[in-house]
Copies of this chain bind each other. A is one copy, B any other.
Amino acid sequence: MAKIKATANGSRQDVIIKKAAFLFRKKGFRAASMRELAENMGVEAPSLYNHIGSKGELLQSICFKIAALFMKQLEEVETRQVSIVEKLEQLIRFHIRLMLQLYDEVYVANHEWKYLDEISLSQFLSQRKLYEAKMIQLVKKGIRQNEIKNIHPQVAVLTILSAVKGLEILQKHKKEIGEAELENSIAEYLVKGLIK
């Protein structure tokens, strides 16, 4: 009769969500079972339901937590008194950093959101669409102000987002290369496509 214990960094719910993110990332949402999640916590599956509502709610928590972090960062960067290119670079760096630091959660938000239930799904997608639109506006403004070369704003933004979204392939090189150099190399590479 093991027990799920709350830690300094979070309630019992948070501990379950964290492990769920790990499993959803590793196995995929549909392939990750509540029984396996329970086993990982040293408990029987039904016991989880003393702490959480449903499997779907776990996915929601993960996806919306990450979406909120990105959106908050975007809004904060928008207000900063720096050039457009710097703003974009800061956003790119935030994507890289978050992927390195909250690997499981960011991966799940990037790749498993399609298993959200109908209502959450449409909410999630409109948040994402808004995020993309704001980035595209930034690039357009940069072009108007002659700061960014005359690229296709939509395509550029989606290419950048595609690049940072798939960075889980770099996760295993984190130790070997170092987080700081990873962030610098990737950011430099992606920013170079913007400037004149």
Contact = CB atoms under 8 A, between A and B. Distances in A.
Interface of A: 28-31, 111, 114-115, 151-152, 154-156, 158-167, 169-170, 173, 177, 181-182, 185-186, 188-190, 192-193
Interface centre among A114, A177, A189 (most CB of B within 10 A): A189
B152 A177 contact: yes
Nearest to A152: B185
Nearest to A187: B159
A155 B185 contact: yes
Given A163-B162, A165-B162, A167-B162, A28 B193 contact: no
B169 A158 contact: yes
Contacts of A192: 192-193
A173 to B, nearest CB: 7
Contacts of A173: 154-155, 158
Contacts of A188: 151, 193
A167 B31 CA distance: 25
